[in-house]
Amino acid sequence: MNAFPIPEGLAMRKKPQQARTKQLVDKILLASAELLEQEGLAALNTNSIAERAQIDIASLYRFFRNKEAILFALSMAHYETLHLSLDQATDKVRYTPLIDVYFELLDSMPKMPYYKLAYTSLEELFISDPNFQPLFRWSFEVASKRVFSWLRMSGCSWDDKSVDEFAQFVVESTYSYNRSMLRLNESERESFDKWMRFSTASVFNQVLTSDSSPL
Protein backbone atom coordinates (compact mmCIF):
# COMPACT_ATOMS: atom_id res chain seq x y z
CA MET A 1 0.00 0.00 0.00
CA ASN A 2 1.43 3.36 -1.04
CA ALA A 3 1.40 5.97 1.70
CA PHE A 4 -0.93 8.92 1.29
CA PRO A 5 0.96 12.23 0.78
CA ILE A 6 -0.26 14.22 3.77
CA PRO A 7 -0.65 17.95 3.03
CA GLU A 8 2.02 19.96 4.82
CA GLY A 9 -0.49 22.03 6.79
CA LEU A 10 -2.15 18.89 8.15
CA ALA A 11 0.92 16.81 8.92
CA MET A 12 2.01 16.32 12.51
CA ARG A 13 4.77 18.69 13.59
CA LYS A 14 6.74 15.63 14.67
CA LYS A 15 6.11 11.94 15.23
CA PRO A 16 6.19 10.67 18.81
CA GLN A 17 9.19 8.41 19.36
CA GLN A 18 8.96 7.46 23.02
CA ALA A 19 6.21 5.63 24.86
CA ARG A 20 5.40 8.71 26.92
CA THR A 21 4.92 10.97 23.91
CA LYS A 22 2.95 8.28 22.06
CA GLN A 23 0.61 8.12 25.04
CA LEU A 24 0.26 11.89 24.92
CA VAL A 25 -0.71 11.85 21.25
CA ASP A 26 -3.16 9.01 21.92
CA LYS A 27 -4.75 11.11 24.68
CA ILE A 28 -5.16 14.01 22.27
CA LEU A 29 -6.78 11.81 19.63
CA LEU A 30 -9.05 10.08 22.13
CA ALA A 31 -10.15 13.40 23.64
CA SER A 32 -10.89 14.75 20.15
CA ALA A 33 -12.92 11.67 19.28
CA GLU A 34 -14.96 11.94 22.48
CA LEU A 35 -15.72 15.61 21.88
CA LEU A 36 -16.69 14.96 18.27
CA GLU A 37 -19.16 12.28 19.30
CA GLN A 38 -20.64 14.41 22.07
CA GLU A 39 -20.64 17.91 20.59
CA GLY A 40 -20.00 17.61 16.86
CA LEU A 41 -17.51 19.09 14.46
CA ALA A 42 -18.49 22.75 14.79
CA ALA A 43 -17.87 22.84 18.55
CA LEU A 44 -14.40 21.29 18.38
CA ASN A 45 -11.34 23.47 19.08
CA THR A 46 -7.82 22.94 20.39
CA ASN A 47 -8.58 24.46 23.80
CA SER A 48 -11.47 22.08 24.44
CA ILE A 49 -9.35 19.15 23.25
CA ALA A 50 -6.49 20.04 25.60
CA GLU A 51 -8.93 20.46 28.48
CA ARG A 52 -10.57 17.09 27.81
CA ALA A 53 -7.15 15.41 27.48
CA GLN A 54 -6.04 17.11 30.71
CA ILE A 55 -2.90 18.53 29.14
CA ASP A 56 -1.65 22.07 28.59
CA ILE A 57 -2.24 23.61 25.20
CA ALA A 58 1.50 23.87 24.54
CA SER A 59 1.78 20.08 24.70
CA LEU A 60 -0.91 19.77 22.06
CA TYR A 61 0.82 22.27 19.78
CA ARG A 62 4.07 20.34 20.06
CA PHE A 63 2.51 17.75 17.78
CA PHE A 64 -0.41 19.41 15.99
CA ARG A 65 -0.65 22.79 14.27
CA ASN A 66 -4.43 23.07 14.57
CA LYS A 67 -7.59 21.06 15.06
CA GLU A 68 -7.65 20.16 11.35
CA ALA A 69 -4.34 18.34 11.77
CA ILE A 70 -5.86 16.37 14.65
CA LEU A 71 -8.90 15.48 12.56
CA PHE A 72 -6.61 14.36 9.77
CA ALA A 73 -4.69 12.15 12.19
CA LEU A 74 -7.97 10.59 13.34
CA SER A 75 -8.91 9.90 9.72
CA MET A 76 -5.51 8.40 8.93
CA ALA A 77 -5.65 6.15 11.99
CA HIS A 78 -8.96 4.71 10.80
CA TYR A 79 -7.91 4.25 7.19
CA GLU A 80 -4.53 2.74 8.02
CA THR A 81 -6.25 0.07 10.12
CA LEU A 82 -8.81 -0.52 7.37
CA HIS A 83 -6.12 -0.93 4.73
CA LEU A 84 -4.14 -3.31 6.92
CA SER A 85 -7.30 -5.40 7.30
CA LEU A 86 -7.73 -5.37 3.52
CA ASP A 87 -4.18 -6.66 3.09
CA GLN A 88 -4.82 -9.42 5.63
CA ALA A 89 -8.04 -10.32 3.85
CA THR A 90 -6.11 -10.67 0.59
CA ASP A 91 -4.04 -13.44 2.15
CA LYS A 92 -7.20 -15.21 3.36
CA VAL A 93 -8.85 -15.12 -0.07
CA ARG A 94 -6.19 -17.58 -1.25
CA TYR A 95 -7.73 -20.38 0.84
CA THR A 96 -11.15 -19.12 2.03
CA PRO A 97 -14.35 -18.43 0.04
CA LEU A 98 -14.52 -14.76 -0.88
CA ILE A 99 -17.92 -14.14 0.68
CA ASP A 100 -16.68 -15.50 4.02
CA VAL A 101 -13.65 -13.22 3.91
CA TYR A 102 -15.84 -10.25 3.03
CA PHE A 103 -18.29 -10.87 5.88
CA GLU A 104 -15.41 -11.36 8.32
CA LEU A 105 -14.01 -7.99 7.25
CA LEU A 106 -17.44 -6.41 7.57
CA ASP A 107 -17.79 -7.73 11.12
CA SER A 108 -14.38 -6.38 12.09
CA MET A 109 -14.96 -2.84 10.90
CA PRO A 110 -16.90 -1.54 13.94
CA LYS A 111 -13.88 -2.45 16.07
CA MET A 112 -11.52 -0.26 14.02
CA PRO A 113 -10.24 3.02 15.50
CA TYR A 114 -12.69 5.90 15.15
CA TYR A 115 -15.10 3.77 13.13
CA LYS A 116 -18.19 5.71 14.16
CA LEU A 117 -16.58 9.07 13.41
CA ALA A 118 -15.58 7.94 9.91
CA TYR A 119 -19.28 7.66 9.01
CA THR A 120 -20.56 10.68 10.98
CA SER A 121 -18.53 13.78 11.92
CA LEU A 122 -15.51 13.05 9.73
CA GLU A 123 -17.79 12.25 6.82
CA GLU A 124 -18.65 15.96 6.64
CA LEU A 125 -15.00 16.70 5.94
CA PHE A 126 -14.61 13.88 3.41
CA ILE A 127 -17.52 15.33 1.44
CA SER A 128 -16.95 19.08 1.67
CA ASP A 129 -13.37 19.89 2.72
CA PRO A 130 -10.86 20.07 -0.18
CA ASN A 131 -8.06 19.01 2.18
CA PHE A 132 -9.87 15.83 3.20
CA GLN A 133 -11.53 14.85 -0.08
CA PRO A 134 -8.29 13.45 -1.60
CA LEU A 135 -7.81 11.21 1.45
CA PHE A 136 -11.30 9.76 1.03
CA ARG A 137 -10.78 9.19 -2.71
CA TRP A 138 -7.39 7.59 -2.06
CA SER A 139 -8.87 5.18 0.48
CA PHE A 140 -11.70 4.34 -1.93
CA GLU A 141 -9.18 3.55 -4.68
CA VAL A 142 -7.07 1.39 -2.35
CA ALA A 143 -10.14 -0.58 -1.29
CA SER A 144 -11.41 -0.97 -4.86
CA LYS A 145 -8.06 -2.35 -6.03
CA ARG A 146 -8.06 -4.87 -3.19
CA VAL A 147 -11.57 -6.06 -4.06
CA PHE A 148 -10.56 -6.29 -7.73
CA SER A 149 -7.69 -8.59 -6.78
CA TRP A 150 -9.98 -10.71 -4.57
CA LEU A 151 -12.38 -11.23 -7.45
CA ARG A 152 -9.60 -12.31 -9.80
CA MET A 153 -8.09 -14.62 -7.16
CA SER A 154 -11.53 -16.16 -6.64
CA GLY A 155 -11.93 -16.98 -10.32
CA CYS A 156 -14.00 -14.11 -11.71
CA SER A 157 -13.68 -14.25 -15.50
CA TRP A 158 -15.28 -10.91 -16.35
CA ASP A 159 -13.35 -8.35 -18.38
CA ASP A 160 -11.24 -5.86 -16.42
CA LYS A 161 -13.64 -2.94 -16.85
CA SER A 162 -16.59 -4.94 -15.50
CA VAL A 163 -14.57 -6.31 -12.59
CA ASP A 164 -13.37 -2.82 -11.73
CA GLU A 165 -16.92 -1.44 -11.83
CA PHE A 166 -18.17 -4.23 -9.59
CA ALA A 167 -15.27 -3.74 -7.17
CA GLN A 168 -16.19 -0.06 -6.87
CA PHE A 169 -19.81 -1.06 -6.31
CA VAL A 170 -18.75 -3.36 -3.46
CA VAL A 171 -16.78 -0.57 -1.79
CA GLU A 172 -19.64 1.92 -2.19
CA SER A 173 -22.13 -0.63 -0.84
CA THR A 174 -19.89 -1.38 2.13
CA TYR A 175 -19.65 2.31 2.95
CA SER A 176 -23.44 2.69 2.68
CA TYR A 177 -23.96 -0.38 4.87
CA ASN A 178 -21.76 0.96 7.66
CA ARG A 179 -23.32 4.39 7.42
CA SER A 180 -26.83 2.94 7.61
CA MET A 181 -26.03 0.61 10.52
CA LEU A 182 -25.05 3.62 12.62
CA ARG A 183 -28.31 5.42 11.88
CA LEU A 184 -30.84 2.61 12.37
CA ASN A 185 -32.35 1.42 15.62
CA GLU A 186 -31.61 -2.09 16.90
CA SER A 187 -34.53 -3.88 15.25
CA GLU A 188 -33.95 -2.05 11.97
CA ARG A 189 -30.25 -2.93 12.05
CA GLU A 190 -30.97 -6.64 12.47
CA SER A 191 -33.38 -6.71 9.54
CA PHE A 192 -31.14 -4.58 7.33
CA ASP A 193 -28.08 -6.69 8.13
CA LYS A 194 -29.83 -9.96 7.24
CA TRP A 195 -31.13 -8.56 3.97
CA MET A 196 -27.75 -7.11 3.06
CA ARG A 197 -25.88 -10.35 3.72
CA PHE A 198 -28.37 -12.44 1.78
CA SER A 199 -28.33 -10.15 -1.25
CA THR A 200 -24.54 -9.74 -1.14
CA ALA A 201 -23.96 -13.50 -1.05
CA SER A 202 -26.29 -13.93 -4.03
CA VAL A 203 -24.57 -11.22 -6.05
CA PHE A 204 -21.07 -12.51 -5.27
CA ASN A 205 -22.12 -16.01 -6.33
CA GLN A 206 -23.46 -14.68 -9.63
CA VAL A 207 -20.30 -12.69 -10.30
CA LEU A 208 -18.01 -15.64 -9.61
CA THR A 209 -20.01 -18.20 -11.60
CA SER A 210 -21.03 -16.22 -14.70
CA ASP A 211 -18.75 -15.80 -17.70
CA SER A 212 -19.47 -12.12 -18.26
CA SER A 213 -21.27 -9.16 -16.74
CA PRO A 214 -25.02 -9.07 -17.47
CA LEU A 215 -24.86 -5.28 -17.83
Domains and CATH numbers, the chain: 8-209 (1.10.357.10)
CA distance 197 to 206: 14
Angle, CA 213 vertex, CA 212 and CA 215 arms, to 5°: 145
Per-residue pLDDT, averaged over 151-161, amounts to 96
Mean per-residue pLDDT of the chain: 94
Per-residue pLDDT, averaged over 90-100, amounts to 96
Q: Tell me: the pLDDT tens digits for 53-83?
A: 999 999 999 999 999 999 999 999 999 999 9
